[in-house]
Amino acid sequence: MHPISKAIRIHTDRTNEMEHSSPMFLTSSFCFDNSEDMRAAFADETDDNIYSRFSNPTVQEFVDRMVALEGAEAGYATSSGMSAIFASFMALLKKGDHLLSCNAIFGSTHTVITKILPKFGIEYTYVPADKPEEWEKAIQPNTKMFYIETPTNPGLEIVDLEAASNVCKKHNLLLNVDNCFATPVNQRPIDFGADLVVHSATKWIDGQGRVLGGVIVGKKALIHDIYLFCRSTGPALSAFNAWVLSKSLETLDVRMERHGGNALQLAKALEGHPKIKWLKYPFLASHPQHRIALKQMKNGGGIVCFELAGGLQSGKKFLDNLKMLSLTANLGDTKSIASHPASTTHAKLTEQERLAVNITPGLIRISVGLEHVDDIISDIRQALENC
Ligand SMILES: *Cc1c(COP(=O)(O)O)cnc(C)c1O
């Protein structure tokens, strides 16, 4: 069965009511018939559910669907994307290890790598996402993992998954990929050799701006270590959020097709606009890594970004001029969203620090929603007029 069909048909055990949509197991713990069954479950001799911090049938349904979509062996779901990313580091790296990471990564991931991991004696080196020839030079004898995000948030840089996997195989490193922007219906990093894939399920996977969630999928032995870490430290996904996210996966493929279609049309409509210095979309021929995007992605995803010719002040003006698009910190919603990283998410950095991670003063990120594309284009066009 195609992974998309498989994911849709995966279903937790039906109750006696034989419901067609999955039930939700909103319970903290699970009962045993007798002491021997309980002993065996605690001894890991069976995979019976014990307590929802460890496992829960609704959460497992969401995980099983993600595993099917990503072509993975196993997975574990967490309360947010950040707890998934943090668990993937803490479970698999230890004091004295070195993490290689691309520099263009999500802001909070950057904070974890530069401020939190060093407290535990885990070193890091950043390498440029678009220069594979520089990756190998940064590898040290104690390097254990290569962490990448592709496409990157917010700059839409594309990291060559095949090249990353080749470097990791040669030097025996784990390849850990944040696949949040593409989603598994557009890109499957494991097919290119990734060992682990992490997600913020909060974004396109929910796709409707309702709940936080995260998930890690990959090789069985690695996921087992992550499971043991999470089971004790407690970043479990709630059953309610898992139920919402699992249902969302049934429409992920059709949603992403429309998000991608709308985004491509928007990108084409805006490219060359006099108020725009440059525009980036992975499936436009003008994107610097367009060939790599075509190699590893099925469509260009739902994010378009561009640099306003007028810089920082124009960025704020542009947001104020919008009539339909929302100003909010999320992305991957049915409703289109505009953001200006230099005055919001990245405002605490110095201009120099922002430029080092490609956050230019007039950078605008559009999360293209499911409204009619004509309305999205005309709102952005009118907002560009006097900024
Ligand atoms: C939002 C995001 C995260 C963090 O996810 P949360 O669910 O907000 O914790 C990680 N990576 C990327 C690329 C993101 O966009």
Q: pLDDT tens digits for 235-283?
A: 999 999 999 999 999 999 999 999 999 999 999 999 999 999 999 999 9
| pLDDT for 13 | 79
Helix axes 373-385, 252-270, angle to 10 degrees: 40
At 149, is the pLDDT very low, low, confident or very high (cuts 50, 70, 90)?
A: very high
Say which residues have a Cβ less than 8 Å from residue 182's Cβ, sequence separation at least 6.
Answer: 150, 151, 297, 301
C-alpha 271 – ligand 1 centre gap (Å)? 28
Q: What b/e sequence results for 125-164 when a residue is b if at least 16 CB atoms lie within 10 Å of its CB, and e otherwise?
A: bbbbbbebeebeebbeeebbbbbbbbbbbbbbbbbbbeeb
Q: Are 306 and 278 in contact (CB under 8 A)?
A: yes
Residues 6+ apart with CB under 8 A from 285: none
Distance, in Å, from the CA atom of 238 to the CA atom of 210, rounded to the nearest integer, reads 13
Instruction: Report residue 347 as tokens.
Output: 């405002």
pLDDT at 202 over 90: yes
Q: Report the separation in Å between the CA atom of 29 and the middle of ligand 1, taken as the mean of its atom positions.
A: 29
Domains defined for the chain, CATH in brackets:
3-249 (3.40.640.10), 252-385 (3.90.1150.10)
Determine if ligand 1 sits within 6 Å of the CB of residue 341. Answer: no
For residue 227, pLDDT over 90 is answered with yes
Distance 36 CA to ligand 1 centre (A): 42
> For ligand 1, what atom is nearest to the CA of residue 202?
7
Which pLDDT belongs to residue 355?
Answer: 87
188 CA → ligand 1 middle, Å: 18
Both tokens of 235, joined, read 């970043």
Instruction: Report the predicted TM-score, pTM, of the whole model to 2 decimal places.
Output: 0.96
180 CB near ligand 1 (under 6 Å): yes
Calculate ∠ Cα 11-43-74, nearest 5°. Answer: 40
The whole-chain average pLDDT of the chain stands at 96
Question: pLDDT band at 108, cuts 50/70/90?
Answer: very high
203 lines ligand 1 (CB under 6 A): yes
What pLDDT, on the 0 to 100 scale, is given for residue 345? 85
Residue owning the nearest CA to atom 8 of ligand 1: 81
Length of the chain: 387
The CA-atom distances, in angstroms, between 175 and each of 165, 181, 206, 350 are: 7, 17, 25, 31
Q: Assign 354 a pLDDT band (cuts: 50, 70, 90).
A: confident
At 76 the pLDDT is 98
Distance in angstroms (rounded) separating the CA atoms of residues 243 and 249: 10
pLDDT at 211: 98
pLDDT at 353 over 90: no
- Report d(CA 235, CA 232) in Å as an integer: 9
Mean pLDDT of 273-301: 97
Average pLDDT, stretch 294-316?
A: 96
d(CA 259, CA 299): 10
Locate 79 and state its tokens: 């309360």
Q: How far is CA 195 from the centre of its chain?
A: 15
Is the pLDDT assigned to residue 346 strictly greater than 90?
A: no
pLDDT for 290 equals 98
The CA distances from residue 156 to 9, 105, 272, in Å, are 33, 10, 18
What's the pLDDT score for residue 357? 79
Local confidence band at 12 (pLDDT 50, 70, 90 cut-offs): confident
What span, in angstroms and rounded, lies between the C-alpha atoms of 123 and 384?
Answer: 43
Confidence of residue 191 (pLDDT cuts 50, 70, 90): very high
**Residue 341 confidence (pLDDT) above 90:** yes
Q: Does residue 153 have its Cβ closer than 6 Å to ligand 1?
A: yes
Percent of the chain scored above 70 by pLDDT?
Answer: 100
Measured CA to CA, the distance from residue 93 to residue 120 in angstroms comes to: 10
Tens digits of residue pLDDT in 52-88: 999 999 999 999 999 999 999 999 999 999 999 999 9
Bridge partners of 307, per DSSP, are: 278, 363
At 358-369, the pLDDT tens digits run 899 999 999 999
Contacts of 215 (CB under 8 A, 6+ apart): 62, 63, 66, 75, 76, 77, 78, 84, 198, 199, 201, 205, 237
Rounded to whole angstroms, the Cα distance separating 306 from 366 reads 8
Could you tell me if 199 and 185 are in contact, meaning their C-beta atoms sit under 8 angstroms apart? no
